[in-house]
Amino acid sequence: MKLISPDTTKCVKCYACTEVCPMKVIGISASGFPEPKSYAYRLCINCGYCVDICVFDALHHKVRKQRSSDPGAAIRRYEEMKKKRKSEQEIK
């Protein structure tokens, strides 16, 4: 089993999981679904943000079997990233 695996019947390919990952170990497969990069096992810190951010409950993590005790942390990180990206685009 891979470190992370999407439920392809639930995943809507929004890629929030790839964006929120602080270690950038989630890529996109040829079919457009999230998949772990080859070095994921070595770099993943098992924070669970990828699982917590998925509102469709479509991503499964081999180590993090359940959502974290503070799923809001992933949402806060994602919102901060969106703000940063927006401000960077405004500067250009």
Q: What is the pLDDT along the chain (92 residues), one digit of tens a residue?
A: 789 999 999 999 999 999 999 999 999 999 999 999 999 999 999 989 999 999 999 999 998 766 667 778 888 888 888 888 888 887 76
pTM: 0.78
Task: Provide the pLDDT for residue 84.
Answer: 83
Task: Provide the pLDDT for residue 65.
Answer: 64
**Which domains, ranges and CATH numbers included, belong to the chain?**
4-91 (3.30.70)
Task: Provide the pLDDT for residue 92.
Answer: 65
Cβ–Cβ under 8 Å, residues 51 and 60:
yes
